Amino acid sequence: MTQVTVQKIVEGNAHVVVRVDMLADGSGELVDFPILSPADLDPQRKPNAPAFRLMQIWYGLIWFDVVIKSGGITPHTMWTLARDCDSHTDFRSFGGILDPGVYETPPHADTGILLLSTNGFTTAGAQGTLVFELRKTNG
């Protein structure tokens, strides 16, 4: 069975750091797998407001790529992590990446859930670790 473990490492009033460990058994890709929900945040998201901004990502991926998405009627791609690229991406210089679903019409369609999908995770033994730094946008 494919294993995905999600753990909050640090949570403060303004930010949260989440670690995701993944190990494939060869059964298939992860598709829109939920990593973090606004209900997981303290304080929780206000209605019709973004839950977070993606500030930094650190990652190590063996044999697969990851697409980071935010939830809504149709999940929106926030960023793609390629296995053969730099293992740290920093968005702090421009204030982070906001969940683009908050601009949907109607605005209540955005769920504010952080999701991930994989490409190449079908190989047994494929593994990876992601660490997200998120800034909370409602507190």
Give the domain CATH number at 107: 2.60.120
Q: Are strands 52-62 and 3-11 parallel, antiparallel or unpaired?
A: unpaired
Domains held by the chain: number: 1
pTM exceeding the 0.75 threshold for the entire prediction: yes
Predicted pLDDT at 138: 67
* Listed ranges 8-17, 42-51, 106-115; the one with the highest mean pLDDT: 8-17
Q: Is the pLDDT of residue 139 over 60?
A: no
Distance CA 121, CA 72 (A): 24
User: In the prediction, which pLDDT does 123 show?
Assistant: 92
Residue range(s) defining the domain that contains residue 43 = 3-136
Phi, psi of 56 (to 5 degrees): -150, 155
pLDDT at position 59, please? Answer: 97
